[in-house]
């Protein structure tokens, strides 16, 4: 496909993002908000479907952010509008509760965040907010976590004085945003996305140990090694609250219980075949065997990836990315044809390695490519999509960016 027909989704500058939401706020609510906050989407480099198993994940924050212009509403009603959604979304805080019919739709991520912060004793106000985002929606790049985290940062700064922007405060915000998503938005996700959006460090990836809670920034300078990361948004529809994600999580939790361990993190690679033997004879054994094999090998791949990176051997990580994709395709069964075609085409066009990223069932893939090869690899992927009759994909360049912050 001709390079000039490719769609690259550029990150907005903070000035552009702020100007867009200030204009949108004035138009929809009148006047000026108290401020503007931004929170990034993420791509996970490796360590997929490991977070809710107490495992390792290794995300970076994208330069692409969700921007929110926010003011305290002055009463107990949350009112929201967005450039990406029609109409006004509103709810009264007393109506916000797990399973409540009043909190359906995109605003539930915001209402849930206020609700979860309050449950932690924090004086989060009900808000009026206008949202605009250059994180593509439904692309598996955590647009929902970016929405939660931007509002969490706004609530922190607009809430009780003394609630400062410290690392411990950010960790509390991570917990609250996870609870918002799990309890109010109805997606039983594992926490990697919120950690990336609130704890990321520019120019670093974040090694998340989801058993200890440690989040360790690891320098991630691909350019120094003559490489770059291309994100391929397949535009295959992706959704995490439709039961498939929850089913994977439930299988893992049941397997851990059957093995007598708290999480699958407790199964070392050396104990994998014994664990699989123990599971094989149980009802649903064949499915559990595949899911557990993915999780345990993926945690190992993530550790090896970080070891190679820290040893200055990033040129050798490609096979780990490829193996991660295969494991997610064959054992975890969360890829779709668009993801498989994207990674195959990227590899054929010269990627050192490629894999789906995020929850799967659609969404995005990443390819580790030689610096400067973005348009050529993108063109090969777009050509392969056209040949398969898929809709056109979009592309993002991914340089590790910083966390949620106030921008105006
Ligand atoms: C989604 C979830 C995360 C994580 C990934 C898979 O992005 O929100 O918590 O489980 O899927 O690694």
For ligand 1, residues with CB inside 6 Å are: 44, 48-49, 51-52, 189-193, 240, 358-359
pLDDT value at 83 more than 80: yes
Q: What is the pLDDT of residues 302-359, one digit of tens each?
A: 999 999 999 999 999 999 999 999 999 999 999 999 999 999 999 999 999 999 999 9
348-380 residue pLDDT tens: 999 999 999 999 999 999 999 999 999 999 999
Nearest to 246 by CA among 361, 338, 137: 361
Residue with CA at minimum distance from ligand 1 atom 2:
189
3-class DSSP state of 166? coil
**132: its two tokens:** 């605009």
Rounded Cα distance between 176 and 168, Å, is 13
Q: What angle do CA 45, 238, 52 make, to 5 degrees?
A: 55
Contact 280, 286 (CB under 8 A): yes
Within 10 A of 10 (CB to CB), how many other CB atoms are there?
Answer: 11
At 105-130, the pLDDT tens digits run: 999 999 999 999 999 999 999 999 99
Give the active site residues: 193
Average pLDDT, the chain: 96
Return the pLDDT at 237: 77
Nearest ligand 1 atom to the CA of 144 is: 8
pLDDT in tens, 5-27: 899 999 999 999 999 999 999 99
Position 1 scores a pLDDT of 59
Q: Write down the pLDDT at residue 167.
A: 94
**Residue closest to 108 by CA, chosen among 100, 149, 71:** 100
pLDDT at position 373, please?
98
- Structure confidence by residue, pLDDT tens digits, 220-273: 999 999 999 999 999 997 666 678 999 999 999 999 999 999 999 999 999 999
**Tokens found for residue 305:** 């990836």
pLDDT tens digits, 197-210: 999 999 999 999 99
Could you give the domains of the chain?
A: 10-220+401-406 (3.30.230.10), 223-397 (3.30.70.890)
Q: What is the pLDDT of residue 86?
A: 95
pLDDT-based confidence at residue 405 (cuts at 50, 70, 90): very high
Residue 130 near residue 69, CB atoms below 8 Å: yes
Neighbours of 158 (CB within 10 A): 19
What pLDDT band is residue 102 in, cutting at 50, 70 and 90?
A: confident
pLDDT > 90? residue 40:
yes
Instruction: Work out which ligand 1 atom sits closest to the CA atom of 48.
Output: 12
Q: What is the 73 CA–ligand 1 centroid distance (Å)?
A: 32
pLDDT at 161 over 80: no
What separation in Å is there between the alpha carbon of 359 and the centre of ligand 1?
A: 5
Distance from Cα 19 to the centre of ligand 1, integer Å: 31
What mean pLDDT is predicted for residues 139-151?
97
Instruction: Flag whether pLDDT at 43 surpasses 70.
Output: yes
What pLDDT band is residue 101 in, cutting at 50, 70 and 90? Answer: confident
Q: For residue 122, what pLDDT is reported?
A: 92
Distance 360 CA to ligand 1 centre (A): 9
Does residue 2 carry a pLDDT above 70? no
CA dist., res. 320 & res. 50, Å (int): 15
Average pLDDT over residues 134-147: 95
């Amino acid at each position: 496909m001709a390079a000039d027909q490719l769609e690259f989704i550029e990150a907005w500058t903070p000035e552009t993002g702020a100007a867009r939401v200030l204009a949108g706020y004035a138009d929809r609510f009148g006047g000026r908000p108290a401020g503007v906050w931004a929170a990034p989407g993420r791509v996970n480099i490796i360590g997929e479907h490991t977070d809710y198993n107490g495992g390792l994940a290794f995300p970076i924050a994208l330069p692409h952010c969700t921007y929110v212009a926010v003011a305290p509403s002055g009463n107990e009603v949350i009112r929201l509008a967005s450039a990406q959604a029609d109409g006004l979304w509103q709810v009264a805080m007393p109506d916000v509760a797990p399973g409540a019919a009043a909190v359906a739709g995109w605003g539930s991520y915001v209402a849930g965040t206020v609700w979860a912060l309050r449950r932690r004793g924090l004086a989060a106000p009900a808000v009026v907010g206008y949202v605009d985002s250059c994180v593509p929606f439904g692309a598996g790049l955590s647009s929902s976590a970016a929405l939660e985290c931007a509002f969490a940062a706004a609530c922190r700064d607009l809430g009780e004085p003394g609630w400062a922007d410290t690392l411990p405060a950010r960790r509390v915000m991570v917990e609250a945003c996870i609870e918002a998503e799990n309890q109010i938005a109805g997606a039983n996700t594992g926490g990697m996305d919120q950690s990336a959006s609130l704890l990321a460090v520019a120019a670093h990836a974040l090694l998340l140990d989801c058993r200890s809670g440690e989040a360790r920034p690891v320098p991630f300078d691909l350019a120094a090694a003559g490489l770059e990361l291309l994100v391929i948004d397949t535009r295959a529809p992706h959704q995490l609250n439709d039961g498939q994600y929850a089913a994977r999580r439930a299988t893992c939790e049941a397997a851990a219980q059957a093995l007598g361990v708290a999480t699958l993190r407790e199964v070392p690679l050396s104990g994998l075949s014994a664990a699989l033997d123990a599971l094989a004879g149980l009802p649903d054994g064949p499915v559990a065997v595949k899911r557990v094999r993915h999780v345990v090998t993926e945690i190992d791949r993530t550790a090896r990836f970080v070891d190679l990176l820290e040893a200055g051997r990033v040129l050798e990580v490609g096979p780990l990315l490829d193996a991660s994709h295969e494991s997610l395709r064959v054992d975890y069964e969360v890829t779709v044809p668009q993801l498989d075609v994207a990674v195959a085409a990227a590899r054929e066009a010269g990627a050192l390695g490629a894999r789906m990223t995020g929850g799967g069932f659609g969404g995005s893939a990443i390819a580790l490519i030689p610096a400067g090869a973005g348009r050529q690899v993108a063109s090969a992927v777009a050509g392969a999509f056209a040949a398969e009759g898929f809709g056109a994909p979009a592309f993002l360049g991914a340089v590790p960016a910083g966390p949620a912050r106030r921008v105006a």
